[in-house]
């Protein structure tokens, strides 16, 4: 995990994109909008690219200028403008060090549903602290211990969304390799699998296992996550790479939705998956007991 220089947040970029599209739909120029807000065109341009986040009062003034009467859209964009300025739990973390993960945490906090396909590790929202520590250390073995602990704390904090009164729905498809790959010592892996078995009973969480014998499938290239967002946010798919996360928005999310549906059909049922995870947990627990003798 490498430190990345902080650019405009995804929130600011989404808001700017919406304002630009509404301006163009109203057949108005950047100068028209700038004159209405009594700002220079440079500021208006930065607002539409997310470099200068629009204030709620500016957003409402622009929506009036563009003739936007849809109350859902108006309230949604006003809320988005306030979200850009509002502090969240992630504001205690260094923005430059955490990079786009702060955007990721914000998306998770707003999502109504999170669907993921995982081929290497358990998804971050379902990891134990010990498992997460080993995953993060493996990703950047040269990182100072203090930095690693910082990233682990951040990951654990993200999991709070599952304990909210109204948590997002979460569906995770785990490749069989995720369950068989020993991350850390066998006791760490055993504890992780027991946690998966326990959390699979959570009413908002659905875990399915994609067995090896399912063969080739639409996402043979790797994992991805889909976020179903409330209006006015677009639906978003995220693909993690060594160079950082790549976010894809509607309508390009459709290919991920189709792939996910195929994976879900090929995976074991919820009941079969829970049984599979329990069997794997017991097997690795026995390995842990033998190694401790």
* Cis amide linkage into residue 251, ω under 30° from 0: yes
Question: How sure is the predictor about 98, in pLDDT bands with cuts at 50, 70 and 90?
Answer: low
Average pLDDT over residues 132-161: 92
* Cis amide linkage into residue 44, ω under 30° from 0: no
pTM (2 decimals)?
0.78
Checking DSSP bridges between strand 224-228 and strand 236-241, what pairing results, if any? antiparallel
Q: Is the pLDDT of residue 230 over 90?
A: no
Q: Is the pLDDT of residue 114 over 90?
A: yes
Handedness of CA 94, 95, 101, 107 (dihedral sign): positive
User: What is the reported pLDDT for 35?
Assistant: 93
What span, in angstroms and rounded, lies between the C-alpha atoms of 232 and 16? Answer: 12
User: What is the reported pLDDT for 11?
Assistant: 78
Q: Which candidate, 194, 188, 125, 130, places its Cα nearest to that of 157?
A: 125
- How confident is the prediction for the chain on average, in pLDDT? 87
Average pLDDT over residues 191-214: 93
What span, in angstroms and rounded, lies between the C-alpha atoms of 128 and 198? Answer: 12
Task: Give the tokens for residue 219.
Answer: 């996402």
User: What is the reported pLDDT for 5?
Assistant: 40
Please state at what angle helix 186-199 crosses helix 129-139, rounded to 10 degrees.
120
Which ranges constitute the DSSP H helices of 144-269?
145-158, 176-180, 186-199, 254-266
**Cα–Cα–Cα angle for 177, 182, 188, rounded to 5 degrees:** 130
User: What is the reported pLDDT for 1?
Assistant: 40
Buried b (16+ CB within 10 A) or exposed e, 34-49: bebbeeeeeebbbbbe
């Amino acid at each position: 995990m490498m430190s990345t220089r902080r650019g405009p947040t995804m929130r600011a970029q989404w808001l700017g994109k919406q304002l630009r599209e509404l301006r163009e739909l109203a057949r108005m120029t950047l100068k028209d909008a700038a004159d209405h807000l009594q700002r220079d065109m440079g500021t208006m341009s930065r607002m539409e690219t997310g470099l200068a986040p629009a204030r709620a009062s500016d957003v409402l003034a622009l929506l009036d200028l563009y003739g936007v009467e849809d109350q859902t859209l108006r309230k949604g964009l006003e809320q988005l403008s306030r979200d850009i300025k509002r502090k969240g739990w992630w504001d205690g973390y260094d923005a430059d060090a955490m990079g786009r993960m702060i955007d990721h945490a914000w998306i998770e906090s707003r999502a109504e549903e999170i669907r993921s396909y995982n081929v290497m590790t358990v998804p971050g929202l379902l990891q134990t602290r010990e498992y997460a520590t080993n995953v993060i250390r493996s990703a950047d073995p040269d990182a100072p211990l203090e930095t690693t602990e910082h990233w682990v704390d951040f990951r654990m904090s993200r999991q709070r969304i599952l304990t909210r009164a109204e948590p997002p729905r979460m569906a995770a498809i785990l490749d069989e390799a995720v369950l068989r790959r020993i991350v850390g010592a066998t006791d760490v892996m055993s504890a992780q699998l027991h946690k998966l078995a326990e959390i699979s009973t959570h009413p908002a969480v659905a875990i399915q296992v994609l067995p090896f014998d399912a063969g080739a499938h639409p996402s043979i290239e790797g994992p991805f996550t889909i976020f179903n967002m409330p209006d006015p946010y677009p639906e978003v798919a995220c693909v993690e790479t060594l160079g950082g996360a790549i976010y894809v928005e509607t309508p390009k999310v459709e290919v991920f939705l189709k792939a996910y549906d195929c994976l879900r059909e090929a995976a074991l049922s919820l009941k079969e998956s829970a049984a599979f995870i329990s069997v794997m947990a017991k097997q690795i627990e026995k390995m842990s007991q033998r190694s401790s003798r």
